[in-house]
Structure 1
Amino acid sequence: MTAQPSPSHPHAGSRSPSRSPGTFDHRMTVFSTDEAFVADALAFLAEGLAAPDEPPPTAILAPDRLDLLRDALGAQARHVALVPHTDWYTGSAANAVARAAGHLAGHAGPGGRAHLLMEPVWNGRAGRSPRESAEWIRYEALANLLFASAATTAMCVYDTRTAGSVLVEAARRAHPGTGVYEDPLRIAAELDAVPLPPVPSGAQWLAEPAPEAVRAWAAGCGLGAADAEVFATAVTEAATLGRVTGVLLWGEAPGCVCELSLAERVDDPLVGFVPPAAAEPAPGQGLWYARQVCAYVDVRDASGGGTALRLQYA
């Protein structure tokens, strides 16, 4: 999440744009050298340290970047929470929504006031495939809606040596103030327009998502008992979204897949992303639970009407 670089300083991602009180300030900083990163990071953290009614700023970064920052901060490092990004981003992009919501609920100042310097693991899970990267860009875009009412200032870190130019340009569209910002719903619709892999001919069909049937199928495909239970629960929770007219199951552990056919259209692009009162995944949270425990959850319009809801466990 980053600020608009100025023409005179292409890495100036720390200057705060004007905004209404209580609104999410979502920035990004783009750089290709360690020196440029340190300059922007220090300016951003200094802004956070000077902000009234806020906790100490938090930097969620790659371990080697934390070392650079710690050295540059010197004695001030004790006033900044330094978190390895592999400890923060431990799962899917949907998990990152829960982590951010939980952090703000437990640590932010009034109205969600906090400064967060954030770097997804672009050289790890977030960048391991075009599909995975697309889900993180979705997260970047939808964050503008999910956290719109929070007085949080977040700056996302993009190192062109790690993220690459294609990913950086996609991320610019998800950050206000970059000059190419797009409506988050438009970005989500574009991502949903990319076809999913076709359902294989050998997929098993069920009339309804009975938990015991899904659990038995998953166990037969190689999932352990605990994972089979979680997967079956995710399917059952996802099924609460609408009237199910059919269930298809395919794949092998850990990549078990279930596609639910729903009779009605689901038009809410934020469905399953809005954190419930209890952010920890638990039965009874519907599609939020499914998104938290599955690697991918896709909600697509079905060709004959209704909705195709696809869950992939890993």
Structure 2
Amino acid sequence: MTTRPDPSTPLQDCFDHRMAVFRSDDEFLAAALPFLTEALAAPDEPPPVAIAAPGNLDLLRDALGDGVKDVVLVPHTEWYTGSAANAVARSAGHLAANAGPGGRIHLLMEPVWGGRAGRSPRETAEWIRYEALANLLFAPLATTALCAYDTRVAGHAIVAAARRAHPDTGVYVDPVRLAAELDAVPLPSPPVDAEYLSGPVPAADAVRTWATVQGLSAADGELFATAVTEAAATLGPLEGALLWGEAPACVCELRAERRVDDPLAGFVPPQRVEPEPGQGLWFARQVCAYVDVRDDREGASVRLQYG
């Protein structure tokens, strides 16, 4: 089943975030082909992009015939190569380089639910967060995205959660509220033997040395230490930091004196390639597997897990 706006509604210069649910090859084509046909007929747009499982791309090649030359086909394992935050960066970069005026382009997007995105409840929650926050991150752009969900891979629980992140499904939830629901799940408590670092900003050398002792390579230890110090600089004065875990799952929890109060913190792509002040959480999300932010009355706890 595909959910989409009424075709009689005039085109809007804003993000059009749709969802298609399918359970067979025929149902995939029934959703994908009209979407691509619509894209090819849209004025002022570059060729549409279909990001999907290799088998589904083969279905499109067969169905489109000679018309496949007008569609960009990308195996989804080449697009979704890391965390949900990495997917934000990949999408934003593609739009900046390839979209038409105002961000006009059609994207058929099938996450790798048989891989990282669906490997654990925590990972799945991060991808649902990505789907929800996409409604805010890409709101100013006239991009049309059709998110494809194969129930043979994603499963009904994931599909039900994803419906709440897509407008016009009948169960759509405001992205800020949905993100708050995800953040209401408590994080595991730090172990009692976690190493404590005092001071307003953790020393990069101390984090780097600790991380390499725990088994990270020198290069990974450097990235982790940079992520920690950049995030700390963005958060402002800290009450301290805790370190625990072993490679690759090295963890640093920063305790900030003030709340973050921004569900998009670390998700908004920077305007420049070079790091800028205040972009520490963006860098941390690009480098780390998980960045969890939990606000409370006294401030915020920000937990970075490298792998």
Equivalent residue letter for 2:254: L
The TM-score normalised by the length of structure 2 is 0.95
The TM-score normalised by the length of structure 1 is 0.93
The Cα of 1:18 is off from its aligned counterpart by 3.1
Note if 1:307 corresponds to 2:296. no
The Cα of 1:219 is off from its aligned counterpart by 0.7
Q: Which residues in structure 2 correspond to 1:106-117 (within 5 Å)?
A: 106-117=97-108
Q: Deviations over 1:226-264 (max 9, x none)?
A: 000000000011102221110100000000000000001
What SS does structure 1 have at the residue aligned with 2:186? coil
Aligned partners of 2:230 and 2:154: how far apart in 1? Answer: 35
Match of 1:36 in 2: 27
Q: Which residues in structure 2 correspond to 1:221-240 (within 5 Å)?
A: 221-240=214-233
Conserved 8 A contact 1:281-1:288: no
The Cα of 1:305 is off from its aligned counterpart by 1.1
Aligned partners of 1:73 and 1:20: how far apart in 2? Answer: 25
Conserved 8 A contact 1:160-1:168: yes
Conserved 8 A contact 2:50-2:74: yes
Aligned partners of 1:89 and 1:281: how far apart in 2? Answer: 23
Structure 2: tracts of 5 or more residues without a match:
none
Equivalent residue letter for 1:301: D
What SS does structure 1 have at the residue aligned with 2:185? coil
Equivalent residue letter for 1:309: V
Note if 1:291 corresponds to 2:285. yes
Q: Give aligned-pair identity as a percent.
A: 68
The Cα of 1:11 is off from its aligned counterpart by 4.2
Greater shift after overlay, 236-245 or 82-91? 236-245
Equivalent residue letter for 2:230: E
Runs of 4+ in 1 over 2 A off after TM superposition: 10-21, 280-285
Pairwise CA RMSD: 1.5
Alignment equivalent of 1:214, drawn from 194, 207, 212: 207
Structure 1: tracts of 5 or more residues without a match:
1-9
Match of 1:189 in 2: 180
Match of 1:266 in 2: 260
Match of 2:239 in 1: 245
The Cα of 1:13 is off from its aligned counterpart by 5.3
The Cα of 1:21 is off from its aligned counterpart by 2.8
Q: Deviations over 1:89-128 (max 9, x none)?
A: 0000000000000000000000000000001100001000
Aligned partners of 1:147 and 1:262: how far apart in 2? Answer: 29
What SS does structure 2 have at the residue aligned with 1:53? coil
Aligned partners of 1:194 and 1:107: how far apart in 2? Answer: 38
Alignment equivalent of 1:72, drawn from 47, 53, 63: 63
Match of 1:256 in 2: 250
